[in-house]
Structure 1
């Protein structure tokens, strides 16, 4: 029996890209509303989500390929390492953690859970996706409206996060406990 997602793989990849974009949009909104700047490890986790998004973006634009899922897997592993590192930094009793918790957990804990879920999702996609959703020649494919929405959401938050990080850190290393933007007056 052949396991296949058939024509649903592009839709599933678009939804996954929207999910990753949603994570990045939520973190950025939290940063603005609560005025909590991300620490260097938080920025590494955002970079991990951005790289996961690149792999998903390739799937949406060019069709499912093992290489693209490989980018997702390696990026999720890298992001999970930085998230678990931060969890371990704040695991001591009495440590308040970094930033405000959301639903009882800090963002770095949620990031570790999300990266793990992305790893499991990628493994399932590699098992069930017959990789026939894109053109056989390896050329571009035309994403539907959901794919276009996912691409727009992802690319816009990618640019916004890049600009925000540049404003926060400038050209040097980011401060361990950021209190303001280096390139903004105030």
Structure 2
């Protein structure tokens, strides 16, 4: 894999992260399902998963950039496994609605495991770390830059809604209202 292809692959991975963040954000706004603290942690870890590809697009592919994403994916898998185990008992309805038979945190676990496997596979291609002399713009081109800004925008929107939901204190275990938007505050 050449450096140019690696940049394109990193941009595609950012679009995948953006899709996950947008789906979670849509469930929050359209279905009125406020995320629990573990759900918020998983969103943060998905945003952290994007740091490696963003750095690869900006500075070129490096093993250390992939390692940062790999660490975020492992932490995300741990957090989502914790939430799956909280709701594994028979008769437990789970938290939030299900999508194709699985709750969002189960899909997130699958996503983080897929990210771990894909990151490990991408690290097998050493040629991406060599300068291939291609006339690639220093920031990866418009396709890659759009992916970077899309993830940054969705992350910022999630931060704003988290602040609205939790206020300046600890988030509720089972949130039902945006704390900063309550009447009389």
* Aligned-residue CA RMSD (Å): 1.7
Q: Where does residue 74 of structure 1 map in the other structure?
A: 71
Contact 2:83 2:105 (8 Å CA) reproduced? yes
Q: Which runs of 5+ in 1 are unaligned?
A: none
Q: Please identify runs of 4+ aligned residues in structure 1 that moved more than 3 A.
A: 131-136
Q: Do the aligned partners of residues 8 and 66 (structure 1) sit closer, same or farther apart at CA in structure 2, a change above 3 Å counting?
A: same
How far apart, CA to CA, are the structure 2 residues paired with 1:150 and 1:132?
21
| CA shift for structure 1 position 63 | 1.1
- Aligned with 1:124 (options 103, 121, 124): 121
How far apart, CA to CA, are the structure 1 residues paired with 2:57 and 2:39?
27
Q: Where does residue 12 of structure 1 map in the other structure?
A: 9
Alignment of 1:69-148 (within 5 A): 69-132=66-129, 141-148=138-145
How far apart, CA to CA, are the structure 2 residues paired with 1:182 and 1:74?
32
Q: Where does residue 171 of structure 1 map in the other structure?
A: 168
How far apart, CA to CA, are the structure 1 residues paired with 2:72 and 2:138?
24
How far apart, CA to CA, are the structure 1 residues paired with 2:101 and 2:152?
30
Q: TM-score, normalised by structure 2?
A: 0.92
Contact 2:2 2:132 (8 Å CA) reproduced? no
Q: Do the aligned partners of residues 135 and 172 (structure 1) sit closer, same or farther apart at CA in structure 2, a change above 3 Å counting?
A: farther
How far apart, CA to CA, are the structure 2 residues paired with 1:55 and 1:174?
28
Q: TM-score, normalised by structure 1?
A: 0.91
How far apart, CA to CA, are the structure 1 residues paired with 2:80 and 2:32?
21
| CA shift for structure 1 position 132 | 3.2
Q: Which runs of 5+ in 2 are unaligned?
A: none
Q: Where does residue 150 of structure 2 map in the other structure?
A: 153
